[in-house]
A and B are shown apart, each in its own frame.
Chain A
Amino acid sequence: MSNILKSVKLDHDIMKSRYLFFLIDGIGVLLAWITKVPMFGALVILVVSAPIIGQYFAVYDKNNLEKLYGILPLKKSEVVIGRYLFALCIIVINGIIAAIVAFVVSRLTHRPTGLAESLTYLSVGFAYACFTVAVIFPLYFKFSYSKVYVLSNLPFYVIFIIAFDLTRRTNLLAQADPAAQHLASNLTLPAIGFGLGLIFLALSCLLSCALVEGDQQAGARPQVQGTERRLYFADNLRTWMVILVVLQHVALLYNTLYLFMMLNQAYFMGLLFLLSGYFTPGSFKHKGPRKFLTDRLLRLGIPTLVYVFMLNPIASWGYRTMHSSATKAEVGHFALGPMWFLVMLLLFDLGYLALRTLVKNKPERQARPDSTKGLSFSAVALFMLALAAATYLLRIGVPYGIPVLDFPSLGYAAQYLSFFVIGILANRLGRLGAIPGSLGKLGFVVAILASVTLFPVAIVGSHSASLWIGYGSWQSAVFALWDAIFAVGMSLALITFFRRFFDGGKRPGRFMSGHSYIVYVIHVPIIILLTLALSGLHLQVSLKFSMAAVIGVPICFGIGWLIRKIPYVRTII
């Protein structure tokens, strides 16, 4: 933190000679006075924050400050975060100036403005200024200021002038519908405006960090030649995915948190397939084809049989006890339940085995140990588009959310198969540990952007509730595109995040990763019995969900630990 503050102070030192540019706030003062609408002046003052901040980059370019930052003991991300905080300070200072100007002008012109209305205008100005900075800063970090200044700023001024002209003759809020006026009066609208502004800056900051860091993280961890270092982050990530599966099923039982479930659904099983694919070549290499086949049949087949014939009857009994209206068709005695994953994985593994047998067991080509070439964003973007297209086509016949033969999410089959193959390729190319950290941040930003644009378009754009799930509709295409971008973006983000922060092989982590597989197999009857036990409590559904989640996850691991104490269980699961 202290380095970030030092970075902010350095930005202030660099900017000192250009603080005179605050005088362009005078345009806002003049406008407020001429139009007699103080809030228009305030808006202009906030909007001109961007060119004031832009002066920093002008000084930077002119004085070779790239070299200064190159020698200082600062991380590139600290410089970027510092720059954004500095920009936020300038916007806030301009916001204060705008508020003072609006107050003084409204007093002098005898046109008082209410607090809620003032705050709403200020929050709109704040959000617009932050949005401008959020768009232009990554360009300034990537290119020379003098090259991109005009093109990057011009659209924002044009949009502002047009919007200003459209609204200047009328009180915007008075024309707004009653719902908006209500939101403004109880300060919800200002809160949204200020919050949006901060979110724009935060997302842009992540993007800029990704741009300036480039491939710094890729291959940063040295590997001892001749040894294969255990990827603890992959184990920990798999554990987290299994915990998400448990939480998903708890939410499903309580019929709550739909958005959480949809977002999870979009990537978490795909990521599990990717991780499984990643470890498949190693297992094949160590065991050979025959033992690999036996091992897969035992490790995937036996838990499936145990679940179908022992655990599912318990789960279905519990579910029917809770929901007396549930029919046998909904909850059969013998069903695959979450074991569909194991069955599908077994099919993929058999496909891999067949392929390796066809190519006569040629050893996997490994990447050069010194290879630092990371995955490029263009390759990722191409994959996103291809996956979206494949998913869209698949969902013409197998729509989203429609179970087929006990497989509840076959509409994601394209994602599952492609992620499994990517896992194998990542192992071959040594790429899982070498994905640039910047790509993870970029993936996260893209996933969020897709979620605030494509996701609502697909859902809200559907006149009929079923349009976005498939059947070749344009809404389904948009949803498939969101699905693909979100899945790939979140997977990249989580892989790099876990590699950065959870790559230790500490005991609790090792315990949990050692028991994540058994938790996956046994969790359904446990959480059903738990929700049955909690059904007598008269609490809000969200509270019940939280209780079941907090109690259920440790219980699953505890029971898993006990079961693994049984002789021979450990060799299977």
Chain B
Amino acid sequence: MNMAIEITELRKEFKGFTLENVTFSLPTGYIMGFVGKNGAGKTTTIRLILNMLERSGGVVKIFGLDNRTDEQRIKQDTAVVFDDIFFVGTWSVSEVERAVRGFYRRWNTALFNEYLRRFELPADKKVNDLSRGMKMKLMLAVAMSHEAKILILDEPTSGLDPVARDELLDLLTEYISDGEKTILFSTHITADLEKVADYITLIDNGRIVYTGTKDDLLEGYFIVKGGPDDLSASLREKIIGVVMSRTGFSGLIAASETSHLSREYVLERPTIDDILVHISKAGTDNE
């Protein structure tokens, strides 16, 4: 399997936060959801992938190329959408195109104009005058107009209304349909990923807690629930992120541990959100 992104033991030390030994890989032609709560290390990882930050250790390879020594080649094939617009506010939409097109060998003006038409973005409108959703669409139009092989999205849906989010997800599915493009989609809104992601990487407090297919993740865990007096010490050890309430407890448990459970416990299929919440809870409890 050809790997679009391979990250091995990536480290970055800040005062008060360390991204520790982040390791995951994403095969070509798939969408990976990069999930974690705010401040978990998603944006730091993306900035390290883009060589916008100096790493403390580890290796980042994009299509087998080192992201530092082959930075320019990689960036010709990489498109990025951040959570907020990064064009000059006084530029018009058409000026944005004029400013960036010269940097890309495979820039396609016709395709850019096609996206403007589809997104209903007026070419003469100033960036400052665009709505939040329109700004995101402008970044997408730029990202998708130079035939990039990897699309990296850093929290693109935060602040978008449900309709705009749905449009974006449809667009991503369409973008990846030729099997040659790859998407790394960082978000803390996990509902988006249930729909489109093939792979999931969960990050919590600078550490990767899961990386693999979405199906393995969802099938690999259950939410276990029980009464207030049902939580034995041995069971507590097996549960990730126990949440106690007056009516009982709930937590995440590995599917392999469920065969020994008696019938008094309730098992439910978790959502990615459930998994993220309980893993974060476990991380907080351990600190």
User: Which residues of A are interface residues toward B (Cβ below 8 A)?
Assistant: 3, 6, 9-10, 13-14, 16-17, 59, 62-68, 70-75, 214-216, 220-222, 370-373
Q: Does B88 contact A (CB under 8 A)?
A: yes
Whether B102 and A6, one on each chain, are in contact in the complex, defined by CB atoms closer than 8 angstroms, is: yes
Whether B47 and A70, one on each chain, are in contact in the complex, defined by CB atoms closer than 8 angstroms, is: yes
- With CB as the reference atom, state the residue of chain B lying closest to A214: B54
Taking a contact as CB atoms closer than 8 A, the residue among A3, A6, A68, A220 that contacts B87 in the complex is A68
Q: A72-B75, A73-B72, A74-B72 are in contact. Are A216 and B86 (CB under 8 A)?
A: no
Q: How far is the CA of A70 from the CA of B100 in the complex (A)?
A: 13
B83 to A: closest C-beta gap in Å: 10
**Count of B interface residues, CB-CB < 8 Å:** 37
Q: How far is the CA of A17 from the CA of B87 in the complex (A)?
A: 13
Q: Does B71 contact A (CB under 8 A)?
A: yes
Whether B68 and A70, one on each chain, are in contact in the complex, defined by CB atoms closer than 8 angstroms, is: no
- When distances are taken between beta carbons in the complex, the residues of chain B under 8 Å from A70 are 47, 50-52, 80
Whether A64 and B69, one on each chain, are in contact in the complex, defined by CB atoms closer than 8 angstroms, is: no
- With CB as the reference atom, state the residue of chain B lying closest to A371: B57
B43 to A: closest C-beta gap in Å: 11
Q: How far is the CA of A65 from the CA of B52 in the complex (A)?
A: 12
- When distances are taken between beta carbons in the complex, the residues of chain A under 8 Å from B99 are 10, 13-14
Q: Does B192 contact A (CB under 8 A)?
A: no
Whether A13 and B72, one on each chain, are in contact in the complex, defined by CB atoms closer than 8 angstroms, is: no
B145 to A: closest C-beta gap in Å: 13
- When distances are taken between beta carbons in the complex, the residues of chain B under 8 Å from A59 are 88
Q: A63-B89, A68-B87 are in contact. Are A75 and B71 (CB under 8 A)?
A: yes
- When distances are taken between beta carbons in the complex, the residues of chain A under 8 Å from B87 are 63, 68
Whether A370 and B72, one on each chain, are in contact in the complex, defined by CB atoms closer than 8 angstroms, is: no
- When distances are taken between beta carbons in the complex, the residues of chain B under 8 Å from A75 are 71-72
Q: Does B165 contact A (CB under 8 A)?
A: no
Q: How far is the CA of A214 from the CA of B58 in the complex (A)?
A: 16
Whether B54 and A13, one on each chain, are in contact in the complex, defined by CB atoms closer than 8 angstroms, is: no
Whether A370 and B9, one on each chain, are in contact in the complex, defined by CB atoms closer than 8 angstroms, is: yes
Q: A6-B102, A9-B102, A74-B103 are in contact. Are A220 and B69 (CB under 8 A)?
A: yes
- The 10 residue pairs across chains A and B that have the minimum distance between CB atoms: A67-B86, A73-B75, A70-B52, A17-B90, A71-B80, A13-B99, A73-B72, A68-B86, A64-B86, A214-B54
B53 to A: closest C-beta gap in Å: 9
- With CB as the reference atom, state the residue of chain B lying closest to A71: B80
Interface residues of B in 52-89 (CB under 8 A from A): 52, 54-58, 66, 68-69, 71-73, 75-76, 78-80, 82, 84-89
- With CB as the reference atom, state the residue of chain B lying closest to A78: B72
Whether A64 and B85, one on each chain, are in contact in the complex, defined by CB atoms closer than 8 angstroms, is: yes
Q: A59-B88, A71-B50, A370-B9 are in contact. Are A216 and B103 (CB under 8 A)?
A: no
Q: How far is the CA of A537 from the CA of B70 in the complex (A)?
A: 54
Q: How far is the CA of A214 from the CA of B98 in the complex (A)?
A: 31
Q: Does B95 contact A (CB under 8 A)?
A: yes
- With CB as the reference atom, state the residue of chain A lying closest to B98: A13
- When distances are taken between beta carbons in the complex, the residues of chain A under 8 Å from B71 are 73, 75
Q: Give 8 pairs: A residue, B residue, CB < 8 Å, sorted on A.
A: A10-B99, A13-B88, A13-B99, A63-B88, A63-B89, A71-B86, A72-B75, A220-B68
